[in-house]
Amino acid sequence: MRKHRNPIIIALFLTGLSVLLLPFFKLTDAPRFLLFIGRFHPLILHFPIVLIILVALFELTAHYTSIKIKKGLIKILLFGSSLVTLATIAAGFFLYASGEYSGNLIDQHFWSAAVTGFALLTTTALYLMYCKRKRFYSYYLAGLAVSVVTVAYTSHLGGSVTHGQDYLTEHLSLIIHDLKDNNQKVKEESDMLVYEDMIAPIFEAKCLSCHNAQKAKGGLMMTSYENLRRPGESGHPSVTAGAPEKSELYNRLVLPASHEDHMPPEGKTPLSEKEIALLKYWIETGAAKELSITEARKKETIAPIISQLLPELNTYRMKMEIANLKTEEVAQKLNKVAEHLSVIIKRDSLSDGHFFTLSMKFPPAPFTNDQFRELKPYYEIFSRISLTSSGIDDAGLYYIGQMTHLKELYLQKTKLNGSGLVYLQKLENLEVLNLSFTQTDDKAAIDLLNFPNLKKVYLYRTNTSKEVIEALTRYKPELEILQEEGPYF
């Protein structure tokens, strides 16, 4: 006589298979209500993680101790985990269908979520089977182990989507780096300087996003002590030794938050009162680069501020170390890319150290649009590019238009006619453009009016007329148009 099969177990297996097939289904033109449901994905995704980990912990406890966990509790947790996982995957599917997120990482995250859902539903079904027959216990444990692993991996991919692909491992890189450098010593407070070890990390964390070599807002760069002492566009000294009230930097920090000149602008993290007090003290005492923390501690009002700030600044310094280490790793990868493409890639000495330059060897090797595409993973870290005498044409400007931190671009003696200049109009940091010895014509030259921050352009031996150049000068007097070949590097 055929035994009656448990419909719940069958439903769990079938639902699991359906979830596994979900990535193959593409939802287009989803109703707005479903897109709204998709926004709840980040709110509910933690519940299945917690529930399945609890099941795993309970099983480990039961295995290694005399404590016995009731099967009813395990059932509740497994069913709860399965149901919430289905809700999480459904919300994620609708969020995916909205088009707000895309790319290989999202695809991997979606696929691993589907596998996780299948594993959890299968594990729940296997547990029900184990409750009836003990021989299914090992299958259930195997399913539980797979579920925990897939949940962990899916969570890692989700974190990578939000925080970047190396979010989980970036501190591991520092640990490995420290282990390799056996001679590395923690800097003692007696060797620490107020500017280098306190002021500079504060600027790095809260100011450099707007005041760096690529984006010197107000003409002020805060990437070094020397740059900090130079006046910005206002003409007033950023730092006047011994006089905070005459220091433009300090004055902007203490303006009311509603003031249009208050620094930092709305939306940015402001300096704390303790950080401003330390900056004021440093300026009052002469803004010396060599002022030690030991000396500063002699000031009764500053000593407690230093004690409170140092632990916080350790976090800032850690971020700086991670950024420097990432740059080193990227530099090593770019050396191989440069050798493969037969070009020169090196650190940009004119930037703050995290950007690179690209230039041609001489005599230049063939370098076309196809080869330029190979640089796509690194587009955002180039600040200056010189493609003089290369094979790149106007279609290749589409790829250059994705290099958001590009500040200088030298394209003389290339195949350009100027029709692709429209791709460069979104480059907010582009200040110098060299088009000498190209076929750039009047129509293309007029497009230069739409470049947001272009300051200098070279149009020597192009097809632009004198009349158009004069018109450009009238309509955009801040744009310097030079009739000379111009530099390259």
Do 391 and 298 share a structural domain?
no
How many domains is the chain built from?
3
Contact between residue 201 and residue 317 where contact means Cβ atoms under 8 Å apart: yes
Are residue 404 and residue 353 in the same domain, yes or no? yes
Answer whether residue 1 is part of any domain: no
Q: What Rg, from alpha-carbon coordinates, does the chain have?
A: 30
462: DSSP letter: S
Pairing between strand 408-410 and 382-386? Answer: parallel
Q: Are residues 396 and 305 in the same domain?
A: no
Same structural domain for residues 12 and 159?
Answer: yes
- In this structure, are 137 and 203 located in the same domain? no
215 with 265, same domain? yes
Q: Per the domain annotation, does 285 fall within a domain?
A: yes
- On whether residue 488 sits in a domain, the answer given is no
Nearest-angstrom CA–CA distance, 117 and 18: 10
- DSSP per position, 363-425: SPPP--HHHHHTTGGGGGGEEEEE-TT-S--GGGHHHHTT-TT--EEE-TTSS--STTGGGGT
14 and 143 part of one domain = yes
Q: Which of 321, 354, 377 is the last residue of a domain?
A: 321
pLDDT at residue 480 above 90? yes
Residue 421 has pLDDT above 90, yes or no: yes
Judgement on whether residues 31 and 156 belong to the same structural domain of the protein: yes
Which residue among 289, 321, 353 closes a domain? 321
CA distance 40 to 486: 55
In-domain check, residue 408: yes
Q: What is the pLDDT of residues 2-26, one digit of tens each?
A: 455 788 888 888 998 888 888 887 7
Residue 272 has pLDDT above 50, yes or no: yes
Among 158-162, 181-185, 187-191, 458-462, the range with the most confident prediction by mean pLDDT is: 458-462
For 360-390, how does the pLDDT look when each residue is reduced to its tens digit (9 = 90+)? Answer: 988 767 788 888 888 988 998 999 999 999 9
Has residue 184 been placed in a domain? no
Same domain membership, residue 119 and residue 19: yes
Distance CA 423, CA 401 (A): 5
Confidence of residue 1 (pLDDT cuts 50, 70, 90): very low
Enclosing domain of residue 255: 189-321
394 shares a domain with 288: no
Residue 2 covered by a domain: no
77 located within any domain:
yes
Residue 214 and residue 296 share a domain:
yes
292, 426: one domain: no
Which CATH number does the domain housing residue 460 bear? 3.80.10.10
pLDDT for 211 equals: 74
Residue 158 lies in a domain: yes
- Looking only at the bridges linking them, the beta strands covering 356-360 and 343-347 are antiparallel
Report the alpha-carbon distance of residue 162 to residue 303 in Å, rounded.
Answer: 39
What's the average model confidence in pLDDT over 178-185?
Answer: 52
